[in-house]
Amino acid sequence: MNRKTFVQSSMTLLAAAGMPMAVINAGVTGTGNKIITPPYLKPGDMIGITAPAGFITREGILPAATLMQQWGFKIRLGYTIGKRDFTFGGTDAERREDLQKMLDDPEIKAIMCARGGYGSVRIVDELNWDQFKAHPKWVIGFSDITVLHAHINRNFGIASIHSKMCNSFPDVWDTADPLQKDTIESIRKALTGEKMSYTAEAFNKLNRPGTATAPLVGGNLKTIETLAGSASDINTYGRILFVEDTGEYLYSIDRMFWNLKRTGKLSGLAGLIVGGMKVKQDPLDEQFGKNIYDIVLEKVKAYSYPVCFDFPVGHQINNYALRCGVEHRLTVAAEGATLTSI
């Protein structure tokens, strides 16, 4: 049986098994696995809001809940909203149960994580993904939520949305910074299936030109490092990888990139995107001696794929929504760098 016949037969079997054909994306990842795209949202669909990591007050999610209702969606709050167990949005058991209910609830078409912080890794292995695999839905968030993006992409090949969360929505929409509004609006576009295209604000002379068309994966660099060797270890082979981080010393970022290189995550890439990197100032008597560009270019000098710096993603105001797992085209040229969903 040739490959085309095999794929057609597989699609027929999926349909016979009751899997909605709308969720099967015709694209193929670099390893030959199918990318499953959850159904895009339409007016009247429900978004659940839960806190799988850090705590947030009920008042803290109101601007996000109100705006998403204005977009035409229904909102259901998880019971971890307003809960607190030290730094967490409730105990491990409470956060796991709340997220589990949303994964299993057929009425909920997307799950917005209220904020990052820390905590997703404490519950990810205890979640049951059976209903989620049978009926995929969008999981939304960034930072600590990189744990969920990586786990979902590696184990189930289901797309998800890397974006701002409830704690990043402006309190008053009409007077908000235009750039902040634009990044929040990108979440709506990602959820409803609009074509996404972003350009780095200015061309960096240290960018490495080239083009790549491949599925997009990535997230918080420190979190990706901590997942190495686990059941949630991110798969980068044949992908465009994007990374971002905040509050790290340069030596720590260097160590993280060595981890990417030594675990083989840089060798098989289609392209590399470096987003916002908020660096801690080195102590005067312990200067590291290399900047972000030095660190990255040292690790990728043996490879020829395109590299883009200063991309609008990360712990910063220009943090745009990206659909993880979905095929994108990265173009790095003299006039700038652009990432476009396919």
Query: Mean pLDDT across the stretch 10-37?
Result: 44
Task: Examine the pLDDT at 271 and tell me if it is beyond 70.
Answer: yes
Task: Examine the pLDDT at 22 and tell me if it is beyond 60.
Answer: no
Q: What is the pLDDT of residue 202?
A: 66
Q: What is the pLDDT of residue 335?
A: 82
Vertex 173: Cα angle to 170 and 175 (nearest 5): 100
Mark residue 33 as left, alpha or beta (left: phi above 0; alpha: psi -120 to 50; beta: remaining).
Answer: beta
Task: Examine the pLDDT at 14 and tell me if it is beyond 60.
Answer: no
The two structure tokens encoding residue 32: 């030959």
85 phi and psi angles, rounded to 5 deg: -130, 90
Query: CB 274: neighbour CB atoms within 10 A?
Result: 28
Letter string b/e over residues 141-179, b meaning 16 or more CB atoms within 10 A of that residue's CB: bbbbbbbbbbbbbbebbbbbbbbbbbbbbeeeeeeeeee
Q: Could you report the per-residue pLDDT of 58-112, keeping only the tens digit for each?
A: 999 999 999 999 999 999 999 999 999 999 999 999 999 999 999 999 999 999 9
The two structure tokens encoding residue 312: 């609008």
Task: Examine the pLDDT at 17 and tell me if it is beyond 90.
Answer: no
49 phi and psi angles, rounded to 5 deg: -120, 125
334 phi and psi angles, rounded to 5 deg: -60, -30
Mapping DSSP onto H, E and C, the string for the chain reads: CCHHHHHHHHHHHHHHCCCCHHHEEEEECCCCCEEECCCCCCCCCEEEEECCCECCCHHHHHHHHHHHHHCCCEEEECCCCCCCECCECCCHHHHHHHHHHHHHCCCEEEEEECCCCCCHHHCHHHCCCHHHHHCCCEEEECHHHHHHHHHHHHHHCECEEECCCHHHCCCCCCCCCHHHHHHHHHHHHHHHCCCCEEECCCCCCCCECEEEEEEEEEEEHHHHHHCCCCCCCCCCCCCEEEEEEEEECHHHHHHHHHHHHHCCCCCCCCEEEEEEEEECCCCCCCCCCCCHHHHHHHHHCCCCCCEECCCCCCCCCCCCCEEECCEEEEEEECCEEEEEEC
The two structure tokens encoding residue 246: 């905040």
Q: Could you report the per-residue pLDDT of 280-311, keeping only the tens digit for each?
A: 999 989 999 999 999 999 999 999 999 999 99
Say if residues 56 and 46 touch (Cβ distance below 8 Å): no
Q: How many whole angstroms separate alpha carbon 153 and alpha carbon 38?
A: 12
Mean pLDDT of the chain: 91
Task: Examine the pLDDT at 142 and tell me if it is beyond 90.
Answer: yes
Residue 111's nearest CA partner among 144, 75, 82, 155 is: 75
Tell me the pTM. Answer: 0.90
The two structure tokens encoding residue 86: 């030290």
Task: Examine the pLDDT at 15 and tell me if it is beyond 80.
Answer: no
Q: What is the pLDDT of residue 317?
A: 96
Q: How many whole angstroms separate alpha carbon 158 and alpha carbon 155?
A: 8
* Residues belonging to the chain: 342
